Amino acid sequence: MAEQPRIGFIGLGIMGKPMARNLMKAGYSLTVHSRSRGPVDELAKEGATKAGSSKEVAQKSDVIVTMLPDSPDSELVILGKDGILEGASKGLTIIDMSSIAPASSIKIAKACEAKGVDFLDAPVSGGEPKAIDGSLAIMVGGKKKVFDRSVPILQKMGASYVLCGDYGAGNTTKLANQIIVAANIEAVGEALVLAKKAGLDPNVVFEAIKGGLAGSNVMNAKAPMMIAGNFKPGFRIKLHQKDLHNALLTGKDLGVSLPVAGLVQQMISSLMTNGKGESDHSAIANFIEDASKTTISGK
C-alpha cells in the first residue's frame, strides 16, 4: 500500500459526510458513494471523485471507510451485488464504522478474509458535533496489525481510537456505550421533569448538579437541548432504537440480563409510534414529559 492510501468512503449521512470531509482536509484522495446524490455532489465540488457503486469505489481505493445505518446495509454494501468485495483486490482494507450487530461484523470479516481483504469494525460515539470537529471516540475490533496500519486514518476522524479485541469487539463496545448513553439521557429527562414540576428552573438545577457526581458528557450535551426544547437530530431516536435492539439480541445470545436497556427501548418504541423517530435521542425526555403532563422547556 502506498504511503498515502487512496480512500473510498461509502455512506454520507449526518455522520459520514463530515467524517469524509475531515479525511479530505487531511490531504487524502477520496472516492465517494452514497444512496443520496446530494452529499456526493457536494463533496465532489470540494475535490472528491464520484463513484456509481460500491464495487467501483473498491476498484479505485486502497482503504474503504463505510458509515451505514444498520447490519443489513453493511452486509449489502460489502457482500452484496456490485458490493465492495466484488471490486476488491487482495490487500484492500475495509473499515466499517457503522454501528451494527457484532455477529454481523464477524460474518463480514470472515467473508473478507476469504478474499484476502482486511477488515475492522470501528463504530463511533460523539454524534454530529464530534464528527464535524474530528473528535469522535472510535471503538475498534480486528487484527492489531491492521489497526496499527489504520491509525493515521482513524486519528483524522477521532480523538480516541482503541482496539477492543478481535472482530465484533468494536461493535460490542459500542453497544455497551449505547446502553450507558440511553440510560443517562432517560435519567436526565426524569430529573429535569421532576425539577420543573416542583417549580424549579431547570437551568438552575442543571448548573447546580453538572459539576457533581451526576455530571457527565451526556448531561452536558443533552440537558441544554431538553431545556430549550430543541430536538434537532444529531443522533436520531430511530438509530438508538436499532442500537438497543442489537444490544438486547446480543444480551440474549450471551445470557446477560439488560433490564434498563429493555425499559428505555420500550420508551423509544412508544416515541417511534408517536412519529418522533427522526428527533434527536435527547427527545427520550419527551416520554417522561408526556407521562407527567409537563414540559421541561415550558413556562
**Position 3 pLDDT exceeds 90:** no
Closest by CA to 281, choosing from 248, 238, 244, 229, is 238
**Whose grid coordinates read 440474549?**
252
The residue from 55, 130, 174, 196 that is catalytic is 174
Kindly compute the dihedral angle of the four CA atoms of residues 62, 172, 11, 144, in this order, to the nearest 10 degrees: -10
**Position 143 pLDDT exceeds 90:** yes
Averaged pLDDT, 140-147? 98
Averaged pLDDT, 194-198? 97
Q: Measured between alpha carbons, how far is 10 from 229 in angstroms, rounded to an integer? A: 33
Model pLDDT, residue 272: 97
Contact between 121 and 75 (Cβ < 8 Å)? no
Averaged pLDDT, 110-121? 98
Domains of the chain are: 7-167 (3.40.50.720), 173-292 (1.10.1040.10)
- pLDDT band of 2, cuts 50, 70, 90: very low
**Position 209 pLDDT exceeds 50:** yes
Coil, helix or strand at residue 95: strand
As given in the structure block, the three cell numbers for residue 13 are 449521512
Q: Measured between alpha carbons, how far is 223 from 155 in angstroms, rounded to an integer? A: 29
Residue 5 CB neighbours (<10 A): 18
As given in the structure block, the three cell numbers for residue 45 are 465540488
Phi, psi of 235 (to 5 degrees): -145, 115
174 is catalytic: yes
**Residues in contact with 299: Cβ distance below 8 Å, sequence separation at least 6, in sequence order:** none
